[in-house]
Structure 1
Amino acid sequence: MIRPLRRLLKHFGLAMLLAGVLAAATEAVYKNALDAQRDRVYAEFQLAAGQHIGTLRKRVEAVLDLQHLLGDHVDVAGAGSAKDFEQISGSLMRVHTFIKAIALADVDNSVTPPLRFPARHVATRAAWPRPGTDLAMEGLQAQEAVQAALRTGAIIATPLLSPEAENGEGIRLFSRAGQHVLGIYMHLSELAQSTLWAGMDPDARNMAFTILDTTTDPRSAPEVYRDTIGDNFETAYVEVIEFAARRWLIIATPTPKHFELAPAASIERQRATGWAITLLAALLVAFLQTRNAVIRDRVRSSTAELAETNRILADTNATLQAEVAQRTASEAALRTSTTLQQAILHSADYAIVLTDTDGIVRVFNPAAESMLGCAADLVVDKRTPIDFINTAAMARMERATGKRGFAAVLETARGLATSEPVELELTGADGRNVPAAVSISPLLDAQDGRITGYLAIASDITHRKAAETRILHLAHFDPLTELPNRSLLGVRLESALEAAGRFEQSLGVLFLDLDRFKNVNDSLGHQAGDALLKAVSGRFQHCVREQDTVARMGGDEFIVVLPELESRQHAAEVAERIVEALSAPFDIKGHRLTVTPSIGIAIYPDDGSTADTLIQHADAAMYHAKDAGRNNYQFYESRLSTLVSTRLTLENRLRRALERQEFELYYQPQVDIASGDFIGLEAMLRWNDPDEGPVEPDVFIPVAEDSGLIVPIGAWVLRTACAQAEAWRSKHLIDVPMAVNLSARQFDEASLLDIVADVLEDTGLPADRLELELTESLIMRNPELTADVLDGAKRLGVMIGVDDFGTGYSSLAYLKRFPIDRLKIDRSFIADIETEPDDAAIAETIIAMAHTLRIQVLAEGVETVGQLRMLRGWACDAYQGYLCSRPLPADDMNALLKGLRAARLCGLPDVGHT
C-alpha cells in the first residue's frame, strides 16, 4: 500500500503541487475581486442611506424651528383668537402633512406641579384634540413631557404613543409659549415615509429603515418605526438623531434584490478561467511525468524549466486579472457616483452652484436656473455668484469684511457658525429680488487637502420671510383697526417717557372710550360694531401728529400718546379735535350712526412718571368725563383716583350683594284719582348692605348699569315682583298690574322677551298683570329697535309704560307710533305745579295730549292735597307719591293690603281714597 502511494507521488507529485499553487492563486484573485465588489456596494449603500437619514434630520429640525417661531409669536402677542391661531397653524400643517394637530393650552396651576393643561385653541385634521381637551390626558408620559417643557423652557418630545391613542400613532412635541403650553402632534409613520420615501414608488425602494428610541435604555430600546420591507441586517448603516430630549437610532438595511453582496458574473467567470488553467497545467505535467524514465531523465531539466515558466505565467496572469478587476470595479464605481451626482443635482429642491477658487461658476443646477431666472449655459464658465447678489447686500458684506467681490462673500461665510447659512438678498436675471439662505463650503483635494473650489447651496426663503413679517405685524398691531396694540403701545410709551425724562419735556396720555358703543353691537350686530371701530380709528389718524401714537387697548377703548407736549392746552386741543371729528355721523351698513367719546387726559410728569400710572390716571379722568355727561374730556385730578377706587369698591360690593341676595323690593301703590282705588303697584329696588347700611338707588344703580350687573339684578327684580304679585292675587288681597322698570342694558338684551315669557310662565302671573316701564330717553334712542321690542311685548300681552316723561325732549306725536298704555309725568314737573305756572301748563298739556291719543296718564311724586286737586281738575287718571304711601317692603305692604281688605269687608272707605 505504501509503495504504490510513493510511486503515485513520484509520478504525479509535481502536477499536484502545481495544481495546488494555481488553485491558491485563483482563489486569492477571486477573494480580492469579491472584496472590492462588496466595498463598492457598501459605499453606495452608505451614501444613499446617509442622504435619506439626513433628510429626516432636517425635517425634524424644521418642525422644531417652526415650534420655536410659533411659541415666540404666542409669547409676544398672547393667545389671540381661535381664528388667528388656526390661520397661522393651518398654514404650517398644510406644508407638513404629518403634523395632525397644533394646540395651545392653558396651565392649571391649582396644584404644583400642574397636572392639567386644557386646550384653549386647536388646529387639527381630526376630531381630536378639541378646545378644552387636556394635553396630558394621553398618559403619564405626555404629562411628564409637558411639565418638563414648562420647567426647562425647551421643546420636549414624548416617546411613541400607542396607536390606540385618540389622535393615532405618533409623538407629541411640547414647549412653553409665554404663560401657555404649545403642543404639536406628529404622526410618526407619515413623518418617516413622507421624508425617507417622498414621492417614490414603494416597489422602487432600495432600502428599509428601522427607528429605535434609545433615550432611556439603549440595551432595551423600543422600536418606534419599521418598514415592512427588508429584514437583512448583513449590510446595515446606523446613525443617531437627537432632538427635543429624545435620542433615535436609525438603522438602514437593503431591501431584497438591492445592494446584493453575491459575486458578480464576471468574477465567477474569472474564477472558472483560473481553475481551467490550473487543471490544464496539472494534466500537462502529469502527462509528461508518465513517459518512460529515459525520456523523463532527458527532459527533467526541460520540465523543471517549463514548470517554472508555468508558475511565472500563472503569477503574471493573476496579477493582470487583479488589475483588470480593480480597474473594472473603479470604472463602475465612477459611473455610479457620476450618475448619483447628476441625479442629486437635477432633483434637488435647492439651488446648487459649484465654483473654482476664483469664483467662476462650473456647475449650475436646474433649481438655480429656476430661482435666478437664468439658463446654465449663460452662467457656467462665464459668471460668478456675486452677479446674482443684491448690490446693497454686497456692499454691506464688503464694508464688514474689508474685502472685495467673491472674497467678501467667502469671508462672511467663514465668520458664521459652520451650520449656519448666510441670509442674502439675491437678484435674478429678470430683476426680481429673492431672499435666500446660502451655505458655502470649500472643496478639498483628497491627496494634499488644498482647496479646489467652493460649493454653494441656496434655498428660497421668501415664504418664511413673509410669515415672519406677518407674525411680527400680528404681534404688534390690532388686526381689526391696524392700529398699534397694547404690546406696541407699551414699547412706544416707555420710549417716549425715556426721551421726555432725558430732555425734560412733557408728555400727554389720552384714554378714550366710546359712549354706549355696546348699543351698536346689540342692535346692529358685531359686524356693524367692527365697521364702526374701523371708521372711528380712521378719523383718529387725522387728529394727531405724525410722531403721536394712537393705539387700541381692546373693545372700544383707545390710547393716544402725545410726546414732546408743548402745554396742557395742546392736549386739550387734540381732545377737542377728536370730539369734533366724531360728531359727524358714520354711514355703517345703511345706518347713520353717531358715536361720542369720553376722554381722560394725564400729563407727564405732573400726573405720573410711569406708563402704568399715566394710563391708570387717564382712565380715572375718562370715568370723570362720563360722569360729567359724556362727549367731553377731563384732565386728571388726584381726587379722581379716590372716586375710581370708590367706584370699583362699590362694583365689587354689588357683585357680592347679588351673590348673597342682599337686595330687596319695596312696593308703592298707584292710585286712581277719581275713585281713590289702588290700580297698580310699582316695584322699587333697595339695597341694605350688612356692613355699610342702606345704599341709595341713585348711587348704586348707575354703577350696576355701567358694569353690566343690572342685567342679572333686573332679571331678579322681574321674577321677584311677578312672584309677589301672583302671591297677593292668590290670597285675594289685590289684583292689579305690577310695574317693573327696565334698564337700557336689559332692553338691549336679545333674550329680553324670552326672559319675560319664562317668568310669567314660571310664576303663573297673567301677562296683563305685568307692566314694563321704560324711560322716555331709552324709547327714543333707537326707534326702530324699540318698535320691534314693544310690538313683541304687546304680543305677549303685557302693558307698556313710559317713565319720567318730559325729560327726554320727545313729543307725544312721535310716541304715538309705539304701543304705549300709560305715561308717567316726571316728578320734576309735579313738584312745583302749585307755584310755577310753566310747570302747571306743561303738566296740563301733557295730560290733554295723551288723552287725545287715548293714553292714560299717571303723575309721579304727588305729596300735597293741592297738587292732587289740580291734577283732578285736569282729569289726570292716576297718581303715586307720599300723599298716598311711601314705598313699603313686602311685609308692610302685605299688612296694608290686609287692612284695606278688612276695611272693604266692613264697608269702610279705602285708605288711598281722597
Structure 2
Amino acid sequence: MNLSPLPLAVFVVDADGAIASWNKACEKLAGYTAADIRSKTLGEIVEFDFIGEPPLTIAARVEFDSTGQLCCADGRRLPVRITIAPQSLDPDQPGTFSVIVIPRAGLVPPRYALIQDLQTADIIEGLPCVFYVIDQSGHLLLWNHQLENALEMTSEELPTCDVQYFFDEKQRPEIVRKMLDAFEQGHSSHEAELIGKHGKRTSLLFHCARTSLGELPVIFGTGLDITARKQTEQGLRVRERAIYSSVNAIVITCCEHGKNAIEYVNPAFEQMTGYTLAEIKGRDPSFMRIEGCDVHEHQRIQEALRKKESVQVILRNARKNGEVFWNDLRIDPVSNIDGEVTHFVGVINDITEARHYERRLHHMAHHDPLTGLANRTLLQDELKFSIDFAVRNNVLGALAFLDLDNFKHINDNFGHDAGDAVLRATASRLKESVRDNDTVARVGGDEFVLVINNQPGNEQLADLIERIRQHVNAPITVAGRDILPSTSIGVSRFPHDGDTVDRVMRAADAAMYHAKAMGKNNCQFYSVELNQAVHQHLMLEASLSRAIGNHEMVLGYQPKVDLRTGKVVGAEALVRWNHPENGMVPPDEFIPVAEETGLIVPLGEWVIVEACGALKALDKLGVRDFVISVNLSARQLRQRQFAAGLARTLKRMEVDPRNLELEVTESQLMDQPEEAMEALAELKALGVRLSIDDFGTGYSSLSHLQKFPVDYIKIDRSFLGEVSHDGHAVITRAIIALGHSLKLKVIAEGVETLEQLTFLRAHECDQMQGYYFSPALSQHSLEELVCSDARLRD
C-alpha cells in the first residue's frame, strides 16, 4: 500500500488568537518548530482573506469556512481553507476554539493518508471490528485481537489454519467464493457466522478488498459484529410474522399533522372487514364507524389520540359489505427514539359472536326456554319495579299466581309433548290477556305468574282475572285431540297486601294455595283470614318436621279379626301425633301436610321400623302367624330403592316378611299403573303381603286388578255406612264376590255395628276391623289382647 501524508493542521487558540496547542501537522505544513509556534499568535501564522471592515474576530468566524494563506517559515504563502469551532465540550478550556487549516484543492495528494502521524498497529488493534489480511492460499497474514476473541484462539494457532474452517461447513463454499471474488474483482461483501474453537458463534458483516504486500497479492478486510442486529432482525421477523398471522385484526397508522393515516393492515383485518390494504392505505380508520352509534366510545378514542395515550373500547363498525360487527378495540401509541409518538397500533378482536352469545345467555338467564316467558329472576326485578312505582304514585297493582290443575294427568294421559304444547298455549293466552307493560312469567313446571300494573280498582281487577281464567280454560287442540285445562289463581294486591317483593309473593302464593283447597279452577284474593290459615299450615309443617325427630309420633294397632273363627289374626298400624301443646292430632290433619312436604318418607320409614319391632316382640311371646299392615304413601312407592331398603330393615329386625303387610290405595295404583305394577312386583319378591286399601273409591279396571300381585282388598268404610241401603249393599256384595273370584281375601274396615258384622258374615267376607271389636291399641295392649286369645263375639 502506498500511503501519503495528509497535511491537516489543527490549532487550539483563545478568543484573542493566542495559540494554546497544535498538532505535528502544523509544524510540518508550515515548517515551524514547536518553539517558533509557541511564540506566535494565530494572526501571525494565518492570514485571513479580506471580507470587509472591521476585521472579524475569532468568535465571529465560528460555524462557517474562511479562506486565507498559511505563512510558512520559509516565506511561502500557502492557500488554505480554515474552519473554526468552539471548544465548549472541553471543560478544561472554556472560551477556546479549534482552528482547522487544510490546503486548498490542487495542493494536496488526491488520496489521503491520515495514519502517518499515528501508530498503524494502534489503529488496527483499536478498531471496533475484526481486521484481517489473507493470502491466496487462504491463510491469515495479519489480524487483530478481536478476531482472536471471536475464534477463541491464540495468535500462535491462527497462522496454520485455513480461513474457510472458521465457518460452518454449509457456509464454506460461499466463503471461498467470496474470497475469490475479492481477488478477481477487487472487493466483496457478505454476512457469515464465525464459529469459535469452543463453539462461540459471532455473526459478522465482512467487507474485503484486494491489495498487495510488495509482490504478494492479498485481501484485507473488516468484520463488523452484527450479532445484536441479527437478533433484532430475527425478533422483528418473528413479530412481523406474528402480526401477519394473528387472528386479531391489526392496523398501524402514521400520525402526522393531526391526522392518522393507515400504513399497514394484516390479513386478519382484510378478512374481518372485507377491505384490502391497497383500498384503504392512507385513509383514517374512522371511515368504518357507524354514525350515531357508540358516540361515547368514539369520543374516548379521539381524546386518547389527542393526548397520545392508550385506550380500549367496545364499539360497532361496518364491514365493506355493510354488515355491522362488534369490536373489542385496543389502541396504543408508538414512539421513536426521541420519545415522539409517530404511529398508533390498533388491535381489533371481533366479538360479534360473543356479543350475540352474551345476549342469548342473558335472555336464557332471564327467560323460560320452553315458553319464552320471563323466569323467576326477571320476575322479581319486574315486580320490584312495579311495587316501587305503585308506592310512589299511589296506584293499584296486582300479582297473580296461576297453577294448572291436574297437569300431571295431562302429561300421563296425553304425553309430555302434549303437556309442553299446553304450557306454550297457556303462555300465549296469558300474554294476549295483559298489556305490554305487564309481565308474564313461568316459575315452575305448571306455575305461571302475572304482574299487572296500574289498575283502576278492585272490581276491574277481579273482572280481568276472571277473564284470564276463562281464556286459559278454553280447549287446546293437540294432535287432533282436545285438552281441557283449568287453573287455580291466587291474587295479591300491592301495595295493599305488601310493599316488598317477598311479602307480595307470599300473599299471592297463600291465595293460590287457598284456591286449590277450595276445589281448584277458581280465583281467590288474599285476605287477613287467609293469611292466618296459611300461617297455621306453615306452623303445622314446621312442627311436624320437629315431631319426627322428637319422638312425638306414636303407633296404635287396630286388630283385624277372622270372621269365620273370630280370632285376632293381625292389626293395622295407625300413626298418631302426640303434640306437646295441642295433644293428640288426628292423621287427617297432618298426613296431607306430610305428603305435600315430603316428610311422609321419613315418617313412613319410622312406622315400618316400629311395626317390625312390634312383630318381633309378639314373636318372642310365641305369636307366630300374626300380620301387621302398614300404609304406604305414593312417594314411598315411587322410591327406586324402597324395596331394597325394606329388605335390609326386615333382615336387621329379624322379621319374617310374611308377617308384614303393605297397604296401597287404589288411586295410587291407577295413577301410574305400569310403574305401580313394577314396584309391587319388587315388594312381592321380598315375601311381604300386599293389599289394596279403600277399594271401590278409585277407577280400577279388571285387567289391571288381575295383574297386580296383591293378597287382600279392603272395602272402604263408606260402603258400610248403612248396609240396609240397597246401593251400599250391592256394592259391598260385588266387591266381596270380585275379590273371591280373583282368589283374594277381602277385609272390611270401619265395622261399628252388629248389623254390619252380620251382613259381612252372611256374604262370606274374610276379615274385619273397626270399633265394633276394638279401637286402635298400644303395643302393650295388643300383646295382652292376642296372648289372651280374645275373640269376636257372635
TM-score, normalised by the number of residues in structure 2: 0.65
Q: Distance in 1 between matches of 2:608 and 2:484?
A: 32
The alignment status of 1:636 with 2:534, answered yes or no, reads: no
Amino acid at match of 2:466: E
Cα offset, 1:893, TM superposition: 1.1
Distance 1:452 1:793, change over 3 A: closer
C-alpha distance after superposition, 1:400-426 (max 9, x if no partner): 69xxxxx97963655899433232322
C-alpha distance after superposition, 1:500-532 (max 9, x if no partner): 3445432221234566889999x99xxx98995
Cα offset, 1:742, TM superposition: 0.9
Instruction: Tell me which residue corresponds to 2:273.
Output: 372
Instruction: Tell me which residue corresponds to 1:700.
Output: 590
Distance 1:898 1:334, change over 3 A: closer
Alignment check: 8 A CA contact 2:401 2:449 kept: yes
Cα offset, 1:747, TM superposition: 1.5
Alignment check: 8 A CA contact 1:477 1:483 kept: yes
Instruction: Tell me which residue corresponds to 2:138.
Output: none
Match of 1:796 among 651, 670, 686: 686
Match of 1:859 among 730, 743, 748: 748
Cα offset, 1:575, TM superposition: 5.5
Q: Distance in 1 between matches of 2:520 and 2:640?
A: 26
Q: Distance in 1 between matches of 2:234 and 2:768?
A: 108
Alignment check: 8 A CA contact 2:492 2:504 kept: yes
Instruction: Tell me which residue corresponds to 1:508.
Output: 398
Distance 1:596 1:669, change over 3 A: farther
Match of 1:542 among 404, 429, 435: 429
Instruction: Tell me which residue corresponds to 1:687.
Output: 577
Instruction: Tell me which residue corresponds to 1:351.
Output: 250
C-alpha distance after superposition, 1:837-893 (max 9, x if no partner): 433343334334444444332222111212222332333332211110111000111
Distance 1:714 1:632, change over 3 A: farther
Q: Distance in 1 between matches of 2:507 and 2:729?
A: 46
Amino acid at match of 1:377: A
Distance 1:356 1:724, change over 3 A: same
Alignment check: 8 A CA contact 1:364 1:379 kept: no
Cα offset, 1:804, TM superposition: 1.8
Distance 1:672 1:770, change over 3 A: same
Q: Distance in 2 between matches of 1:782 and 1:422?
A: 59
The alignment status of 1:733 with 2:626, answered yes or no, reads: no
The alignment status of 1:385 with 2:278, answered yes or no, reads: no
The range that moved more, 19-28 or 669-678, is 19-28
User: Alignment partner of 2:788: what SS?
Assistant: helix
Distance 1:412 1:475, change over 3 A: farther
Please tell me the root mean square deviation across aligned C-alpha atoms, in Å: 4.6
Match of 2:777 among 866, 874, 888: 888
Amino acid at match of 2:685: R
Amino acid at match of 1:370: Q
Alignment check: 8 A CA contact 1:514 1:556 kept: yes
Distance 1:677 1:32, change over 3 A: same
Q: Distance in 2 between matches of 1:436 and 1:553?
A: 36
Alignment check: 8 A CA contact 2:319 2:325 kept: yes
Instruction: Tell me which residue corresponds to 1:576.
Output: 469
Instruction: Tell me which residue corresponds to 1:774.
Output: 664
Alignment check: 8 A CA contact 1:413 1:421 kept: no
Distance 1:891 1:343, change over 3 A: closer
Q: Distance in 2 between matches of 1:755 and 1:702?
A: 24
The alignment status of 1:646 with 2:544, answered yes or no, reads: no
Amino acid at match of 2:244: H
Cα offset, 1:371, TM superposition: 1.7
Task: Give the structure with the higher percent strand.
Answer: 2
Unaligned runs of 5+ in 2: 1-33, 35-114, 132-145, 147-195, 215-220
C-alpha distance after superposition, 1:720-767 (max 9, x if no partner): 213322431342236232211111111121222223333333333333
Alignment check: 8 A CA contact 1:494 1:611 kept: yes
Alignment check: 8 A CA contact 2:301 2:311 kept: no
Unaligned runs of 5+ in 1: 1-13, 39-255, 281-320, 402-406, 901-909
C-alpha distance after superposition, 1:469-497 (max 9, x if no partner): 34434543456765433322221111222
Alignment check: 8 A CA contact 1:833 1:867 kept: yes
Amino acid at match of 2:266: N
Q: Distance in 2 between matches of 1:639 and 1:828?
A: 33
Q: Distance in 2 between matches of 1:329 and 1:868?
A: 116
Alignment check: 8 A CA contact 1:480 1:530 kept: no
Q: Distance in 2 between matches of 1:616 and 1:806?
A: 39
C-alpha distance after superposition, 1:61-114 (max 9, x if no partner): xxxxxxxxxxxxxxxxxxxxxxxxxxxxxxxxxxxxxxxxxxxxxxxxxxxxxx
Cα offset, 1:558, TM superposition: 4.3
Cα offset, 1:808, TM superposition: 2.5
Cα offset, 1:392, TM superposition: 4.8
Q: Distance in 1 between matches of 2:533 and 2:346?
A: 69
Alignment check: 8 A CA contact 2:559 2:571 kept: yes
Identity over aligned pairs, percent: 34
User: Alignment partner of 1:876: what SS?
Assistant: coil
The alignment status of 1:605 with 2:495, answered yes or no, reads: yes
Q: Distance in 2 between matches of 1:325 and 1:454?
A: 34
The alignment status of 1:430 with 2:317, answered yes or no, reads: no
Instruction: Tell me which residue corresponds to 1:140.
Output: none
Alignment check: 8 A CA contact 2:423 2:446 kept: no
User: Alignment partner of 2:623: what SS?
Assistant: coil
Alignment check: 8 A CA contact 1:663 1:685 kept: yes
Match of 2:653 among 748, 759, 763: 763
The alignment status of 1:783 with 2:783, answered yes or no, reads: no
Distance 1:369 1:661, change over 3 A: same
Cα offset, 1:795, TM superposition: 3.2
Instruction: Tell me which residue corresponds to 1:833.
Output: 723
Alignment check: 8 A CA contact 1:579 1:631 kept: no
User: Alignment partner of 1:489: what SS?
Assistant: helix
Amino acid at match of 1:354: T
The alignment status of 1:484 with 2:374, answered yes or no, reads: yes
Q: Distance in 2 between matches of 1:344 and 1:354?
A: 18
Amino acid at match of 2:595: E
Cα offset, 1:347, TM superposition: 4.1
Task: Give the structure with the higher percent helix.
Answer: 1
C-alpha distance after superposition, 1:329-387 (max 9, x if no partner): 99999988986785565344432132565554332332321221222223224x44233
Cα offset, 1:652, TM superposition: 2.2
Alignment check: 8 A CA contact 2:333 2:344 kept: yes
Cα offset, 1:389, TM superposition: 2.6
User: Alignment partner of 1:542: what SS?
Assistant: helix
Q: Distance in 2 between matches of 1:336 and 1:735?
A: 97
Match of 1:673 among 555, 563, 588: 563
Q: Distance in 2 between matches of 1:410 and 1:911?
A: 100
C-alpha distance after superposition, 1:282-319 (max 9, x if no partner): xxxxxxxxxxxxxxxxxxxxxxxxxxxxxxxxxxxxxx
Q: Distance in 1 between matches of 2:203 and 2:661?
A: 104
Alignment check: 8 A CA contact 2:748 2:765 kept: yes
User: Alignment partner of 1:484: what SS?
Assistant: coil
Distance 1:723 1:416, change over 3 A: farther
Q: Distance in 1 between matches of 2:355 and 2:751?
A: 75
Relative contact order higher in (CA < 8 Å, ≥ 6 apart): 1
Q: Distance in 2 between matches of 1:798 and 1:487?
A: 48
TM-score, normalised by the number of residues in structure 1: 0.57
Instruction: Tell me which residue corresponds to 1:663.
Output: 553
User: Alignment partner of 2:311: what SS?
Assistant: coil
Distance 1:433 1:734, change over 3 A: same
Alignment check: 8 A CA contact 1:478 1:552 kept: yes
C-alpha distance after superposition, 1:145-189 (max 9, x if no partner): xxxxxxxxxxxxxxxxxxxxxxxxxxxxxxxxxxxxxxxxxxxxx
Cα offset, 1:440, TM superposition: 4.3
The range that moved more, 610-619 or 651-660, is 651-660
Distance 1:416 1:888, change over 3 A: farther
